[in-house]
Structure formats: structure tokens, C-alpha cells
Homo-oligomer: A and B are copies of this chain.
Amino acid sequence: MTTFGIDLGGTNVRCAVVDDDGNILAEQRGATLVTVSWEELVAVMADLVRTLAADYEANAVGVGAAGLVDRDGVVHYAPNIPCLRRTPLRAALAKALDVPVVVDNDANAAAHGELVHGAARGVRYALVITLGTGIGGGIIARERVIRGAHGFAAEIGHFQIDPNGPVCACGERGHWEAMASGSALGRMGRERAVAGRFPKAVELAGGDPESVTGVHVGDAAQEGDADGLAVIDDYADLVAIGLAGLSNMLDPERIVISGGLVELGETLFVPVREAFARRIEGFEYRPRVEIIPAELGGEAGVIGAAALARELV
């Protein structure tokens, strides 16, 4: 059986046909066109589905949308898609397509994808954490992603770890997302470069310290540059502070990390695991918590949305 998964982000909308084993059979992309009305955005999504439905049966459609999505599939607030404000996205898309539709937060959909088809398969308690522009993710308890009372439980990067830290996209200071996202790694590298203590990154950035990004930090570290490794160490500790706090609260058996930084491999995972062991409470009394890379990468969103849709049929 095939279902369709849609990943609705701030820039692109992507629709994939997914089979029961989580394989993507076909896909279509469009622009999110954030300035249009929400009705036009629904029309774009419906067109992507109809195009693919010429070749595959659209038994149900799942959408992962970047925003606060309630249990009826109403998008209450989407910082990067301003036309969505208390928008009944699920109902409108179901009406346009005449198939069952489910809408969830995009990070929850991606966590569901890893749970059903990826690195959290068969795990009862897990965290799926995406280190990207921000920090997203999902909390898995009793083999389900926790949606919360209203469906909003996904804002996993939004807890304070430092009252003097940088201001977060949400306006609060020192949230984990502001301190430990992929963007934060770039900022840390840039600060070191501007201070004249990271020549390798400046070289990789074409000579301009202000142009240093997280990719340059990662490349320097992977080449064994001492400055690059030092920045990754500091960054890994900030990642571990959040992972340890979440683990103290939620006791996962596995933590799955996704996002572009996963490409750093053991250069990132070894210091993260070491810092986590120092930071978690009662480490010596606990079974070991696995910290491993995600399996679905950038496909987790559409695969997870399609898996959510499969629960409707």
C-alpha cells in the first residue's frame, strides 16, 4: 500500500509516495510561497498530490508542518510560514483531495519516521534530536511520539540552559536551541576566528573570519586541526547538557541525532558521548544510553508523515 507524505517547510514543500517499508517511490517539490494566502498554499500541496496520484494510489496523506499544530491538524502558528495562523490545514486538504489527511508538527513527523522505519525502530523510549538551523525533535515514550495535550509537544530545543546566553529565535535568552544548534556551532567558530585563534577555519572560509560557518568548523576538525577539535569539544558539551537534562527527565534507552552535523560522524559523536557520560546523573548506576546517528536523514519528514497517514487507513 502507498501513502503520501508532505514536508511543509519555510522554503519548500515536498511530497513523496512511500510504501509500507518506508521506501520513497516518487516525489514532487514546490515552493512554499510564504507570501501567498493559506488557500493557495493548500492548492499547491493538493496539486503535488494529484500529480503523483496519476501513478500511485493516494490512500491517505500525512503532512509535517513547521509550526504549532494541534490534534485536529490546525496550524496555530508557524514562524516561517506567516500565512498559517489558526489555519485548518487538515480539514482544507482533506476536502480538496477527498482522502484521509493527518497534519502534525514536522519534527514530530520526522521522529515518527525514525521510530517506524529508522534508527529508533523497536525502541520504547527514545529521543530523536535534529541539530540544524534550530534544534527540533521528538520524545518517544511507550513506542509513540508524545504529542502533548494540544499536539504542541515538540519544542524540544526551547528550555533555558544559560540565562546569559544568546537570544533564541523564540525571543528567550539562552535556550538550548540558541546554544547548541548547527547555527550555534557556526557562531562559535566565527567568534574564535574573529579573535584570531582559528586560522584553519579562516583559510577554509576563503580568508574572511566573518564567513566561517559550522561546515568550516567541521571540516577543520575532521582534518585534525586542534582549534577545530577544541570548538567541537565545547560544542559537544553544550549538546550534552541538553541531552543529559532530557535523559534525567525521560530515561531514554537510545538517542538518535539527525541533521547536517551527523556527517561529522565520530568526530562529533565521541565527544558528545564523553560529555554526556559526565553530565547525566548517576551515570555509573545506569544502563548505557546509546547515542547514534539517524538513518533517514533529510527524508525522515516525508517518510514519517506518510507513516502517520498509514495509521488512518
Contact = CB atoms under 8 A, between A and B. Distances in A.
Interface in A125-183: 125, 139, 141-142, 144, 146-153, 155-156, 158-164, 170, 172
- Quick one: copies of this chain in the complex? 2
A170 B251 contact: no
Interface string A84-125: 001000000000000000000000000000000000000111
A158 B282 CA distance: 11
Given A160-B241, A162-B162, A150 B253 contact: yes
A76 interface: yes
Given A245-B158, A285-B77, A125 B141 contact: no
Contact of A281 (B144, B161, B170): B170
Nearest to A171: B281
Contacts of A164: 164
A279 interface: yes
Interface of A: 68, 76-77, 86, 123-125, 139, 141-142, 144, 146-153, 155-156, 158-164, 170, 172, 241-242, 244-246, 248-253, 279, 281-282, 285-287
Contacts of A149: 123-125, 251-253, 287
A86 B287 CA distance: 12
Contacts of A76: 282, 285-286
Contact of A249 (B156, B161, B248): B156
Contact of A150 (B155, B246, B287): B287
Contacts of A152: 251, 282, 286
